[in-house]
Amino acid sequence: MTSIASQYPIPKKVLAIFAHPDDAEFFSGGTLARWASEGAHITLFLLTSGDKGTGDRSLSPAQLVATREAETRAAAAQLGFHSVIFQRMSDGELESSLSLRRAIVRMIRMKQPDSVLSSDPLARWRGNRRVNHPDHWVVASEVMNAVYPAARDHLNFPELLYDEGLEPHIARYLYLALPTEPNLRIETTAFQPQKLNALREHRSQIKDFEGLKARLEKQQDLSFSTPEQPRYAEYFRLMILD
């Protein structure tokens, strides 16, 4: 196990990249709320709009997209994001590909973040009862491929430079949420209410919010929490790139 640090460079410009609506809130909502409170400019980039995430057979994919995009914007307002951008690829059908990588590279070059946040591509399951959604680790893998070397080198997707004027960019800090090998703990105690309020906005996905809230409240960080003073944290693999 890598030793866990609690010091990290406070981001100024963050690009959070995930597969679905609600991923950012579940994986790193407390941290993102904290960064927004510290003055970070945060853009959320979602590759899909979650067009298959329902058991309600009365909903068409288009209706579900409209619902989930509205929920995401409401959640983003709770957390203090600057903007939300949807790529609108098909939920459940993401594959590692040059087209997916290009979309991520394009956004990195457009937004020029100092910090990119996604999830850990190695996290294929959690415990013995949870298989990670394949879209999660596909996106996470292509985020890593985009951050290095594709966004950096002008001959990767040269049309982005020559047709759109998007200069190559190096994102110095890469944060991987839900990591298999964490090296960073970010305390989120003060921002747990914001995380919960953001998750509450995803009504199409969370049918028993009080049950979810109770489960999340039990997830205190026991490494530094006490019964008298419950504390929360989110863990990351932080990579500092040259």
Parse the chain into domains and list their residue ranges: 13-240
3-state helix, strand, coil in the chain (%, to 5): 40, 20, 45
Q: What is the predicted pLDDT for the residue at 99?
A: 98
Q: What is the pLDDT of residues 25-73, one digit of tens each?
A: 999 999 999 999 999 999 999 999 999 999 889 999 999 999 999 999 9
- Residue 152, pLDDT score: 97
| Mean pLDDT within 178-200 | 97
pLDDT tens-digit profile of 86-135? 999 999 999 999 999 999 999 999 999 999 999 999 999 988 988 999 99
| Mean pLDDT of the chain, nearest integer | 95
Residue with tokens 């790193």: 28
CA distances (Å), origin 186, targets 35, 117, 165, 235: 10, 13, 36, 6
Band of residue 213 on the pLDDT scale cut at 50, 70, 90 = very high
**Backbone angles phi and psi of 110, in degrees to 5:** -70, -45
For the entire predicted model, the pTM comes to 0.96
pLDDT of residue 1: 44
CATH topology of domain 13-240: Rossmann fold (3.40.50)
